[in-house]
Amino acid sequence: MSKTLFEKIWDAHIVTEVPDGPTQLYIDRMYCHEVTSPQAFAGLRSRGLQVFRPQQITCMPDHNIPTLHQEQPIADPISKNQVDTLDKNAREFGVNYYPMGHPKNGVIHIVGPENGLSLPGMTMVCGDSHTSTHGAMGAVAFGIGTSEVEMVLATQCVFQSRPKTMRISVNGKLGKCVGAKDIALYIISKIGTGGATGYFVEYAGDAVKSLTMEGRLTLCNLSIESGARGGMIAPDETTFEYIKGREFAPKGEEWEKKLAYWRTLKTDDGAKFDKELIFNAEDIEPMVTYGTNPGMGMGINDNIPTLESIDEASRISFQKSLEYMGFTAGEKIVGKPIDYVFIGSCTNGRIEDFREFAEFVKGKRKAENVVAWVVPGSWAVDKQIREEGLDKILADAGFEIRQPGCSACLAMNDDKVPAGKYAVSTSNRNFEGRQGPGARTILASPLIAAAAAVTGRLTDPRAV
Amino acid sequence: MEKFITLTSTVVPLPIENVDTDQIIPARFLKATSKEGFGDNLFRDWRYDKNNEPISTFVLNNPTYASTSLSDRSILVGGKNFGSGSSREHAAWAIAGYGFKVVVSSFFADIFKNNAMNNGVLPVVVSEAFLAEIFAEINKNPNITLTVDLEKQTLTNNATGKSENFAINSYKKECFLQGFDDIDYLLSKKDKIEEYEKTHG
C-alpha cells in the first residue's frame, strides 16, 4: 500500500494502539530544557522511577540563560534555580547533558541537528512546541507537555492521537531576498494560526527542495505557528550531505546501512494526504508581521488589511491586536521607525542566518537609534562565526555578538524589549508581551532584520 | 487525577480569538519548578497593569464573574483557536490552578488540548454557532449555567435548554470518568516496550 513519509515513520514506531484511543508511540530521542522538565523529573522521583533509556535523552538549559557573562552565576535567583534544577536532575538521572557554557550548549533545536543527534526516520519530542524543527531531517518531531515528558522519561513512549496528514507544496522559484522564513510566514498568513491544527505537514515542491538544510530547519520550525503537530521534509542528498561526518551521525558500515534506509523515506506515488495545499513561490514577497500572531503577516510593501476585509466575528480580536501594535488598519508599515533588532532563536540562529545578516551589513553602520541583539543559536555557531571572520564584519558595522541562548525570543532572561518599543525579530512569535511586557514584535527574516538594523526603519532589503 | 463525570456551573466568558499560551501564562512566570501557584498569574498581562494593579475591564477582575464557591465559575468559555502557541503545560496548570475544570471553545490548539486533559481540565469543542449563542446569553445574563455531561458527551446551555454533543475518544473519556492518567497505563506496558526495542533495534 502506498504510504506518505509521515505514515512510514509513525507506523514504524507504534508499540500498541488503544482501540478508539491514542497510539503508544516509541520515541527515539527526547530533548529536555530547563523550563518544561523540572515537574517531569519531580514526578519520576515521586513515583520512585529511574529514567528508562537515559542514552536517548539529551538535556540542556537554553531559555533562561543570559547572553552576557555566562561564566558568572545567573543573577536572577529564580532563573538560576531552574537552571540548577536541570543540572541536578540531569546528573542524578544520568542523561546526556550540556550545561551552560559547554561547547555543545545552545538552543536545543539548533544543537540537535548540528551534532547529528536528529536523524531521518526518527521520532523526536521535547517539551517545546518548536520541536517541529527537527522534522526537516525527514523525521517525526513534535512538541509535548510536561506530563508527556514524564511519560517519555519513564517509558520512552508517548500517547498521541494519530494526526491527519497534509502536504503543502511550494512550486516555482523564489524571488530575490525571499527565503525559508518568508515561505513560512507566507503560508501561515494564508492558512492562519489554526490552519494546520490536527495535521502533520509534509513540505514539498521545488522551492522547498531548493532550500538548504538550514533553510528547511527554519521552515519546519515554524510549522507549529500554523497549528500543525509537526512539519517534515523528505530527506535527500541535501540532508545526507548535511548529516555526514557530524559527531553523533552514524559512521562507516552503519552509515551505509542507514543511508539505504533513509533513501526509502519519501511519500510513495499515489499515497493520499487528508489535505493538499499548493502555493507558488513567485507570489511570495519578503514577509513581515503587523499583528500579534504569526498569521497576521504580509509582504513588506503591503498595506495592513482594512477592518471591512476582516470577518465580522474576528474584528474585535483584529482591532485589539492593531491597538497593541500601535498600527492602523489599511496603512503601510514599511518605512516605520523601529527600536530593536533581534537575530537569533531556534528559527534563525544558524550560521547561514548570520552569514546573510553579516553580508548585508558589511560596510554599513548600525543605525544609532537601534539596539541590536545578535545571538548565535549555539556555541558551535558562535565558533563558526569567528572562524569565518563574520565577527569582524559585524564589529566594524557596530554590532556586538552575544552568547548563545533563546534570549529575546521569549525574554525569560534579561533580553527584554521595553513596553511600546518596536522590535524587528527573526524569532517565531509576535504574541502580546512575548519579547517583554508591552513589547511590539515584527517577525521577519534575517535580511529584513539586517535592513532594519542599518536604516533604523522597516525597510525592504531589495531597496537598499 | 480527580474523577470527572458531570458538572453544572456558571461561566467566565473570554470572547477573544487565538488566545495563545503566552497570554494564558507569560514566559516570565514559567520559572517555577513545581506545578503550584500558576493560577495567580493566569492571564497576567490582561489581568494586571505594569504596577500590578488589577485592570478593571478584564473579565477576571469583574466582580460579576468572581467565583463564590468551588463549583461556581469553573467553566471558561473562550473564542476560537484557544491555547495556540507554546507547548507550556504551565498554561494548563494556570487554568486548573485558578479553578477552571472545563474550557469551552469552537477550536483548540492540539498541544494545549493534550496538556489540559493530562491535568483534569476537560476541553469541550462546540460549533461556532453554539459558542456564539453562549456568549450572547452571557451578555443577557452573566449568571447562566452550562452543564457538561461527560457520560453522554453533551454540553447544555441551561439558559436556552439547547444541547450539543462533543467528541472525546473513549480512552480519554474513561481516564476522566475513572480519574486515571496515561503514565499508569504506559508503565503497565513495559514488556511491550522492551519487545518493540528488540524487534526495532
Instruction: Note the pLDDT tens digit of each residue in B115-155.
Output: 999 999 999 999 999 999 999 999 999 999 999 999 999 99
**Alpha carbon of A153: minimum distance to chain B alpha carbons (Å):** 10
- Model confidence at A313, pLDDT cuts 50, 70, 90, reads confident
Beta carbons of B182 and A429 less than 8 Å apart = no
Beta carbons of A154 and B187 less than 8 Å apart = yes
Read out DSSP for A301-344? TSBPPPGGGS-GGGHHHHHHHHHHHT--TT-B-TT-B--EEEE-
> Does any CB of chain A come closer than 8 Å to the CB of residue B110?
yes
Opening angle at CA B5, ends B152 and B187, nearest 5: 110
Per-residue pLDDT at B69 exceeds 80: no
- Model confidence at A19, pLDDT cuts 50, 70, 90, reads confident
- Separation CA A365–CA A455 (nearest Å): 9
pLDDT for the residue numbered A359 = 98
pLDDT for the residue numbered A404 = 98
Beta carbons of A147 and B119 less than 8 Å apart = yes
Lowest mean pLDDT among A305-319, A329-343, A440-454: A305-319
Report which of B92, B158, B113, B124 is spatially closest to residue A194, judged by C-alpha positions. Answer: B113
Beta carbons of B185 and A64 less than 8 Å apart = no
Say if residues A194 and A228 touch (Cβ distance below 8 Å): no
Helix residue spans in B48-126 (DSSP H): 90-98, 110-117
Per-residue pLDDT at B184 exceeds 90: no
- Model confidence at A372, pLDDT cuts 50, 70, 90, reads very high
Q: Count how many pairs of residues, chain A against chain B, have C-beta atoms within 8 Å.
A: 186
Helix residue spans in B3-149 (DSSP H): 21-24, 44-47, 90-98, 110-117, 128-140
Q: Can you tell me the mean pLDDT for A294-323?
A: 96
Q: Can you tell me the mean pLDDT for B96-118?
A: 96
> Does any CB of chain A come closer than 8 Å to the CB of residue B59?
no
Per-residue pLDDT at B57 exceeds 90: yes
- Model confidence at A335, pLDDT cuts 50, 70, 90, reads very high
- Separation CA B75–CA B142 (nearest Å): 13
Backbone angles phi, psi at B199, to 5 degrees: -85, -15
**All cell numbers assigned to A282:** 513567485
User: A168: which strand partners?
Assistant: A203, A277
Per DSSP (E only), the strands in chain B are 6-14, 75-78, 102-105, 122-125, 145-149, 154-157, 162-165
Q: Can you tell me the mean pLDDT for A433-452?
A: 98
Q: How many CB atoms lie within 10 A of CB B128?
A: 13
Residues of B in contact with A56 (CB under 8 A): none
Per-residue pLDDT at B2 exceeds 90: no
pLDDT for the residue numbered A221 = 98
> Does any CB of chain B come closer than 8 Å to the CB of residue A418?
no
Counting Cβ atoms within 10 Å, is residue A48 exposed (0-12), middle (13-18) or buried (19+)?
Answer: exposed
User: A441: which strand partners?
Assistant: A423
Say if residues A339 and A441 touch (Cβ distance below 8 Å): no
- Model confidence at B1, pLDDT cuts 50, 70, 90, reads confident
- Model confidence at B178, pLDDT cuts 50, 70, 90, reads very high
Q: Can you tell me the mean pLDDT for A258-284?
A: 98
Q: Can you tell me the mean pLDDT for A65-84?
A: 97
B89 → closest Cβ in A63, A147, A316: A147
The whole-model pTM stands at: 0.96
Coarse DSSP helix, strand, coil percentages of chain B, rounded to the nearest 5 percent: 40, 20, 40
Average pLDDT, chain A: 97
Q: At what angle do helices B90-98 and B110-117 cross, to 10 degrees?
A: 50
Per-residue pLDDT at A290 exceeds 80: yes
pLDDT in tens, A170-195: 999 999 999 999 999 999 999 999 99
Beta carbons of B171 and A38 less than 8 Å apart = no
- Separation CA B133–CA B157 (nearest Å): 9
> Does any CB of chain B come closer than 8 Å to the CB of residue A145?
yes
Read out DSSP for A105-171? -B-HHHHHHHTT-S-TT-EEEESSGGGGGGGGGT-EEEE--HHHHHHHHHHSEEEEPPPEEEEEEEE
> Does any CB of chain A come closer than 8 Å to the CB of residue B130?
no
pLDDT in tens, A373-424: 999 999 999 999 999 999 999 999 999 999 999 999 999 999 999 999 999 9
Say if residues B107 and B135 touch (Cβ distance below 8 Å): no
Q: How many CB atoms lie within 10 A of CB A255?
A: 16
- Model confidence at A20, pLDDT cuts 50, 70, 90, reads confident
In the sheet that holds A340-343, the strands lie side by side as: A371-374, A340-343, A422-425, A440-443
- Separation CA A340–CA A443 (nearest Å): 12
Q: Can you tell me the mean pLDDT for A228-252?
A: 98
pLDDT for the residue numbered B201 = 72
- Give SS3 for A91: helix
Say if residues A158 and B118 touch (Cβ distance below 8 Å): no
A35 → closest Cβ in B30, B110, B171: B30
A145 → closest Cβ in B81, B89, B185: B89
Ordered by where they begin, the domains of chain A are 5-160 (3.30.499.10), 164-283 (3.40.1060.10), 287-463 (3.30.499.10)
- Separation CA A362–CA A206 (nearest Å): 31
- Give SS3 for A280: strand
Report which of A350, A266, A258, A345 is spatially closest to residue A28, judged by C-alpha positions. Answer: A258
ipTM for the complex shown: 0.93
Beta carbons of B109 and A197 less than 8 Å apart = yes
Amino acid in position A186: Y
Helix H or strand E encompassing A230: strand A230-232
Q: Can you tell me the mean pLDDT for B64-70?
A: 83
Closest chain B residue by Cα to residue A324 = B46
Residues of B in contact with A146 (CB under 8 A): 89, 115
Query: Mutate which of B19, B20, B30, B31 to disrupt the A interface (most A C-beta within 10 Å)?
Result: B31
- For B62-73, give one letter per residue: b (16+ CB within 10 A) or e: eeebebeeeebb
Q: What is the CA radius of gyration of chain B?
A: 18
Beta carbons of A36 and B109 less than 8 Å apart = no
Q: Can you tell me the mean pLDDT for A454-464?
A: 97
User: A442: which strand partners?
Assistant: A424
* Non-local CB neighbours of A12 within 8 Å, separated by 6+ positions: A121, B200
Amino acid in position A365: R
Site of grid cell 514524564 = A150
- For A256-275, give one letter per residue: b (16+ CB within 10 A) or e: eebeeebeebbbeeebebee
Taken in order A75, A79, A83, A88, the sign of the CA dihedral is positive
Report which of A440, A415, A454, A405 is spatially closest to residue A34, judged by C-alpha positions. Answer: A405
> Does any CB of chain B come closer than 8 Å to the CB of residue A227?
yes
* Non-local CB neighbours of B199 within 8 Å, separated by 6+ positions: none
Query: Mutate which of A160, A434, A443 to disrupt the B interface (most B C-beta within 10 Å)?
Result: A434
Q: At what angle do helices A213-221 and A351-361 cross, to 10 degrees?
A: 100
Q: pLDDT above 70 covers what percent of chain A? A: 100
- Separation CA A168–CA B187 (nearest Å): 37
pLDDT for the residue numbered A21 = 86
Say if residues B168 and B4 touch (Cβ distance below 8 Å): no
Beta carbons of B45 and A433 less than 8 Å apart = yes
Helix (DSSP H) and strand (DSSP E) numbers for chain B: 8, 7
Per-residue pLDDT at A305 exceeds 80: yes
Q: pLDDT above 90 covers what percent of chain B? A: 90
- Separation CA B182–CA B175 (nearest Å): 8
Report which of A461, A400, A464 is spatially closest to residue A175, judged by C-alpha positions. Answer: A461
Residues of A in contact with B88 (CB under 8 A): 35-36, 145
Read out DSSP for A189-220? HHH-TTTTTTEEEEEESHHHHTS-HHHHHHHH
- Separation CA B163–CA B138 (nearest Å): 16
- Separation CA A63–CA A91 (nearest Å): 19
